[in-house]
Every structure is written in C-alpha cells, then in structure tokens.
C-alpha cells in the first residue's frame, strides 16, 4: 500500500519513504528504508550528494540517533525524523 502526503512531498510504500525538502535554501532529495534491527526502529537514509547513513530510535530514551560519521546540519536530520514520525503515526 502506498501512502502519500502531497503537503510534505513524502510517500511511503511499506517500509520505503521518498524524501524531498528544503533546509536553509538547499533542496535535499533521497529516500529512506526501514531495515531489520532487533534492538531499535532503524532506517537507512540515502540523500543525493551526501553519504548514506542510518538513523534509529532508542526505545528506552525515546531519542533519535544517527550514524557516527553523519555530517549533516541537525535541521536536516530533524526534517527526516519528522517525516518518519508522521508516517509511523499514519501506519499505526
């Protein structure tokens, strides 16, 4: 089943989320996929012109984390996490 939110330009097909958003005048395009992890809710994130990285939600602290060498402005990560949060609520 495909979920689409035209306001945020996001679409999710099962465990796949297309991304397109602007932060500080720069457009970010890419996608993320939920990956199997026995410990956390984890996503692999691929953005054009950026290295791929993972983000995950620690259930104990309810805090999102990213891979050690994720070199992005925190507001970019916030955009991705917010879109994932909206999708998770829609799927619940």
User: What residue numbers bound the domain in which 83 lies?
Assistant: 2-91
Round to whole Å and give the CA distance between 91 and 89: 5
**77 closest CA partner among 86, 87, 67:** 67
Query: Stretch 82-92: mean pLDDT, rounded?
Result: 63
How many domains does the chain divide into? Answer: 1
Summarised one tens digit per residue, pLDDT across range 10-54 is 444 468 899 999 999 999 999 999 988 788 889 999 999 888 999
pTM of the model as a whole: 0.74
């Amino acid at each position: 089943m495909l979920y689409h939110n035209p306001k945020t330009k996001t679409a999710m097909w099962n465990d796949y989320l297309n991304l397109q958003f602007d932060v500080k005048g720069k457009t970010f395009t890419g996608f993320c996929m939920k990956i199997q992890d026995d410990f956390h809710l984890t996503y692999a994130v691929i953005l054009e012109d950026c290295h791929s990285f993972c983000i995950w939600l620690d259930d104990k602290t309810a805090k999102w984390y990213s891979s050690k060498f994720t070199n992005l402005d925190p507001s970019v990560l916030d955009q991705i996490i917010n879109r994932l949060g909206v999708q998770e609520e829609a799927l619940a």
